[in-house]
């Protein structure tokens, strides 16, 4: 009986050490991501020219509707506030909570989604450096307004300007990473309400990033594609147990 109890204690300690180690890895990765992103040298004039290029692409595809969409909601104060809260508190709090849930309850799936985030983040950093883009909120000539900053300073607290490259609109990993966590929750949740949250979360975030003028529709599409390709690569690199649905 004593021996069995000792084994349980050893296993619990080992599991706790693994959890702490993974939390340190995630924290270091997040710090490195924002540190490098903030240090990327960006020519502001190039970022604005690239923003006009994105607008031109969207116009060619009939997608440049962001100014009209935002204008339709700015007169509704309560809706603007809801979108701001989704944009701020629906990102990092949701990402970190979901990763911790995966780490504790679905260890194999955690490794896959963690690797997908790391891979997509690395791709994002390369694009930020090669193709800096000013976000819509800076293009006031089109009628955009920075509704998040106008209504709250919370986001600047969660992501201090010193650690943020303001000209890294493309791709939107703000949406891409939420999409990854949404897939995890929708596929692994044990209750319909949890799975529903997984489906709705990325949709709400895509809506928020566009209507708060923090990203173009193109940014969201690019972030989503990069996140999905990274998830596919992470699954391919995983063992057969995970690929076979053992997670």
Whole-number pLDDT of residue 115: 94
Q: How far apart are CA 63 and CA 56, in angstroms?
A: 10
In the block, residue with structure tokens 């997509």: 120
Whole-number pLDDT of residue 69: 94
Whole-number pLDDT of residue 11: 58
**Burial of 29: CB neighbours in 10 Å, binned 0-12, 13-18, 19+:** middle
Tens place of pLDDT per residue across the chain (247 aa): 545 565 555 555 666 677 777 778 777 777 767 666 666 667 888 999 999 999 999 999 999 999 999 999 988 888 988 998 899 889 989 999 999 999 999 989 999 999 999 999 999 988 988 899 999 999 999 999 988 877 665 555 555 555 567 888 999 999 999 999 999 999 999 999 999 999 999 999 999 999 999 999 999 999 999 999 999 999 998 866 555 444 4
In the block, residue with structure tokens 């997040």: 30
Determine contact, residues 164/36, Cβ cutoff 8 Å. no
Among residues 102, 89, 208, which one has the least CA distance to residue 159? 89
Domain ranges, ordered by start, for the chain: 2-243
238, two tokens: 């995983």
Q: How far apart are CA 122 and CA 32, in angstroms?
A: 10
Angle at 206 between CA 203 and CA 209, to 5 degrees: 150
**DSSP helix/strand/coil, 33:** helix
pTM of the model: 0.85
Q: How far apart are CA 176 and CA 205, in angstroms?
A: 9
Q: Helix axis angle, 92-105 relative to 173-188, nearest 10°? A: 40
Whole-number pLDDT of residue 244: 46
């Amino acid at each position: 009986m004593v021996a069995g109890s000792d084994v349980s204690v050893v296993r619990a300690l080992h599991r706790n050490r693994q959890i702490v180690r993974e939390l340190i890895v995630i924290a270091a990765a997040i710090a490195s991501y924002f540190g490098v992103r903030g240090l990327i040298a960006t020519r502001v004039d190039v970022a604005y020219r690239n923003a006009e290029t994105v607008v031109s692409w969207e116009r060619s595809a009939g997608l440049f509707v962001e100014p009209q969409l935002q204008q339709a909601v700015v007169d509704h104060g309560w809706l603007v506030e809801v979108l701001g809260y989704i944009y701020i508190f629906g990102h990092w709090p949701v990402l970190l909570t979901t990763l911790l849930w995966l780490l504790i309850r679905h260890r194999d799936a955690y490794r896959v989604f963690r690797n997908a985030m790391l891979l997509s983040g690395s791709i994002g950093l390369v694009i930020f450096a090669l193709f800096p883009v000013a976000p819509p909120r800076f293009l006031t000539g089109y009628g955009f307004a920075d509704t998040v900053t106008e209504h709250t300073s919370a986001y600047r607290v969660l992501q201090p300007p010193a650690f943020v490259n303001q000209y890294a609109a493309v791709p939107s990993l703000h949406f891409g990473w939420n999409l990854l966590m949404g897939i995890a929750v929708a596929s692994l949740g044990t209750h319909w309400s949890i799975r529903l949250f997984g489906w709705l979360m990325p949709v709400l975030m895509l809506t928020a990033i566009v209507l708060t003028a923090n990203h173009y529709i193109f940014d969201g599409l690019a972030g989503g594609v990069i996140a999905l390709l990274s998830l596919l690569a992470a699954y391919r690199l995983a063992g057969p147990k995970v690929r076979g649905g053992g997670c």
